[in-house]
Amino acid sequence: MFLLNEFEDKFRYGRYVLHLDMSFDNILLFMKMLEDDELSDEDKYLIGLEMLVKDYKKIEDISFQEKADLFKYIMKEFLDTDIDAPPEEGGPTKKDFDFEVDAERIYASFLMDYNIDLFEQRGKLHWKKFLALLSGLSEKTPFMQVVRIRNMEVPKPTKYNAKERQQIQKLKRKYALEDQDINSALDQAATFLRGKAKVGDKNG
C-alpha cells in the first residue's frame, strides 16, 4: 500500500548492497536515454545501470550478461516494467503526454496545485511520489487542460456544430504529439514507464 510503504531503493546483489537513484529527474533522463534510437539495446543496458546504480563501481567489472540481467531486475522490481514480457494485445497505449514536450506545463502545474518547484526538488522527489502527484493534478492546471484536449473526440458533424468542430480540431492540431515508432523492448519500456501516470483517465 502506497502510504504504508517506505521506498527502499537498495537491494543485495551477491556480496554487495546496491543503492539506486530513483529521483524523478534521474528517471526522466533515464527514459529519454531509452528512447534514443542511436543507442543499441546493449548500450542502453550499460548506460542505464550507470544512471540508476549509485555505487556502480562495485559492479563495473561483472560480465555483460550479468549487467543485462541486473538491469532487467531493476526495471521489473523498482520500475514495474518487465522487458521480457510479451507485448500487450493491441500494442502500446496511445500517448497523450510527453515529459519533454510538456515539461513547462508540468512545472507550472505542480507550482499551481501544490506550490512545488520541481527545479528545487531535483535529486530529492522520488519518482513514485512524482507520479502520484502528476496523476492527481486538477483539471484547471495547464498540463491537464492540454491532456484533455488531446483526448477529446471531435463530434460528428451536424448543421449546428461546424464552428465547434473547427475549434476542437484547431486545438488538437496545436497540441498534437508526434507519433513514435516502438522499435524494441526498451523503447516499449519507456512507453510503459510514461504510462504509469494515468493522467489521461481524468478527461471527463
- For residue 146, what pLDDT is reported? 95
Nearest in space to 58 (alpha carbons), one of 10, 8, 13, 123: 13
Q: Sorting pLDDT into bands at 50, 70 and 90, what band is 85? A: confident
- For residue 2, what pLDDT is reported? 53
The chain-wide mean pLDDT, for the chain, equals 85
Question: Can you tell me the distance from the alpha carbon of 181 to that of 184, in angstroms, rounded to the nearest whole number?
Answer: 9
* pLDDT of residue 66 exceeding 70: yes
Q: Sorting pLDDT into bands at 50, 70 and 90, what band is 113? A: very high
* pLDDT of residue 153 exceeding 70: yes
- For residue 185, what pLDDT is reported? 54
Beta pairing partners, 16: 13
Q: Which amino acid, 175?
A: Y
Nearest in space to 9 (alpha carbons), one of 78, 70, 57: 78
- For residue 174, what pLDDT is reported? 94
Whether pTM > 0.75 for this model: the answer is yes
What is the per-residue pLDDT across 97-112, written as a single tens digit (0 to 9) for each? 888 899 999 999 999 9
The angle subtended at Cα 98 by Cα 92 and Cα 104, nearest 5°, is 170
Mean pLDDT, residues 22-34 taken together: 93
Mean pLDDT, residues 57-80 taken together: 94
Long-range contacts, 109-113 (Cβ 8 Å, 24+): 109/137, 109/141, 109/142, 109/143, 109/144, 110/137, 112/140, 112/141, 112/142, 113/137, 113/138, 113/141
Residue ranges of domains in the chain = 2-79, 103-201
pLDDT: is 29 or 37 the higher one?
A: 29
Mean pLDDT, residues 135-151 taken together: 94
